[in-house]
């Protein structure tokens, strides 16, 4: 008959009621919005914390509905895995929309409960970071007693440090399940993005395992060297940070059986700009380069694009709708070379802006690029 029934109909009715409430809030018709929210929240399986907060804001400004506002706020405190920070709670405490609730004891209870939840989330994140870091340190291999002897390595992530003066620079080595110490394996060196906005090395962040480069490496059965950078020791401004990447490569070669003819360097955004610098200025020791969502950076001097005629290929993977590192700028620079740089390949990526790599088609695009880059020379 084409009529909606069951959960689908309830979901549609819920969305329609919230749309009505949003319109009424925009018109400052708080009591009508409160009524719409109340009708929607009758289905307790649909009401989420953000919707409840909006409803409470409406009720707090409707005469005689402050008790209802407090009920909805207290329902928020019972939500599981509530994504709340102490800054969020501070903003709520100062939100003028809830000034009519400040003299109620339930308001203080609401804020105190959320502060406790925020503190618990911080503690859990710190505990997870400590466990992740200690686990990665346990997987690190000692230097072999004799050069060329490689011990078995557990699959997963191992954490190492490469000191430079007073700075202990951390880096990860990802080991695929297929790694065998008796067989030479390719190595991908990957320089992450966001360096200019990162004040501390992120070696204790378990979320790093979600970087697409690791999934791509698992499919390609390669190791990954993943250096960490920060604002004061990053790829674009500090020559020592760039040079230290080579030190890390040599350390990895000592511990793992790396095929020196198949070491590739690339990166994303700031890291991709560093890969462009290596490709044009210091390509020795690398079989190829790849840059994702990256423009050349000239802060370390002009780039010698003619270097790309001498063998090691460079692939630039870039989304046409990138607004951070505009595609047309890279395309113009590529065209400026007039086809004379035969080993530089500009590859349009799927739409998704500067961060397309983290979108639904990003990993597939990266894997395709790496397959092309790592093809044996004819």
Q: Count each helix (H run) and each strand (E run) in the chain, helices first.
A: 11, 8
Residue 53 token pair: 């907060």
Query: CA 348 to CA 321: how far, in whole Å?
Result: 10
Specify whether the CB–CB gap between 89 and 111 falls below 8 A.
Answer: yes
Which of 200, 130, 209 lies closest to 170, judged by CA? 200
* Cross-strand bridge partners of residue 159: 172
Q: What integer pLDDT is reported at residue 33 of this predicted model? A: 96
User: Phi first, then psi: what are they for 344, rounded to 5°?
Assistant: -105, 125
Residues paired with 94 in a beta bridge: none
How far, in Å, are 10, 117, 171, 218, 284 from residue 264 at the CA level? 53, 44, 16, 15, 11
Average pLDDT across each block of 10 residues of the chain; the chain has 378 residues. List them in order. 45 86 95 95 84 96 96 92 92 95 96 95 92 95 88 96 92 97 97 90 93 97 96 86 94 97 96 93 93 86 80 92 95 83 90 96 97 82
User: Which two structure tokens, joined as six digits, stand for 378?
Assistant: 């004819």
Length of the chain: 378
Predicted pLDDT of residue 10: 55
User: Is the CB of residue 84 less than 8 Å from the CB of residue 92?
Assistant: no
Q: What is the model's pTM?
A: 0.82
* Residue 109 DSSP one-character state: H
Q: What is the pLDDT of residue 378?
A: 54
**DSSP conformation letters of 222-278:** -EEEEE--BTTB-TTT-HHHHHHHHHHHHHHHHHS-EEEEEEEEEEETHHHHHHHHH
Cβ–Cβ contacts within 10 Å for residue 49, how many? Answer: 18
Compute the distance between CA of residue 139 and CA of residue 223 in angstroms, rounded to an integer: 14
Q: Kindly write down the DSSP assignment for every residue of 24-76, as one continuous string.
A: HHHTT-HHHHHHHHHHHHTSTTT--HHHHHHHHHHHHTSTT-HHHHHHHHHHH
Residue 259 has a pLDDT of 97
């Amino acid at each position: 008959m084409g009529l909606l029934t069951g959960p689908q109909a309830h979901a549609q009715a819920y969305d329609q009621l919230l749309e009505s409430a949003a319109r009424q809030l925009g018109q400052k018709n708080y009591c009508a919005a409160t009524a719409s929210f109340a009708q929607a929240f009758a289905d307790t399986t649909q009401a989420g914390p953000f919707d409840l907060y909006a409803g409470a804001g409406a009720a707090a400004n409707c005469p005689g509905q402050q008790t209802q506002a407090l009920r909805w706020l207290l329902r928020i405190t019972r939500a599981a895995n509530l994504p709340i920070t102490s800054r969020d709670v501070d903003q709520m405490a100062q939100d003028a929309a809830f000034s009519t609730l400040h003299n109620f004891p339930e308001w203080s209870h609401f804020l105190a409960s959320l502060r406790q939840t925020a503190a618990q989330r911080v503690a859990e994140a710190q505990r997870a970071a400590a466990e992740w870091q200690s686990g990665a340190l346990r997987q690190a291999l000692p230097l072999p007693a004799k050069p060329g002897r490689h011990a078995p390595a557990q699959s997963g992530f191992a954490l190492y440090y490469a000191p430079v003066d007073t700075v202990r620079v951390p880096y990860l080595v990802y080991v695929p399940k297929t790694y065998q110490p008796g067989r030479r394996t390719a190595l991908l060196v990957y320089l992450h993005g966001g360096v200019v906005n990162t004040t501390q090395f992120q070696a204790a962040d378990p979320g790093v395992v979600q970087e697409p480069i690791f999934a791509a490496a698992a499919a390609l059965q390669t190791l990954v060297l993943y250096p960490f950078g920060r604002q004061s020791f990053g790829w674009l401004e500090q020559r020592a940070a760039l040079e230290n990447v080579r030190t890390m490569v040599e350390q990895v070669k000592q511990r793992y059986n790396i095929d020196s003819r198949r070491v590739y360097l690339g990166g994303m955004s700031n890291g991709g700009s560093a890969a462009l610098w290596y490709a044009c200025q210091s390509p020795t020791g690398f079989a190829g380069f790849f840059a994702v969502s990256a423009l050349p950076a000239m802060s370390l001097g002009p780039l010698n694009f003619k270097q790309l005629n001498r063998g090691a290929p460079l692939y630039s993977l870039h989304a046409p709708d990138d607004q951070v590192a505009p595609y047309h700028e890279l395309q113009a620079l590529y065209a400026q070379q007039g086809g004379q740089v035969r080993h530089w390949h500009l590859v349009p990526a799927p739409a998704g802006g500067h961060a397309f790599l983290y979108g639904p088609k990003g990993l597939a695009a990266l894997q395709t690029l790496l397959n092309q880059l790592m093809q044996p020379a004819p």
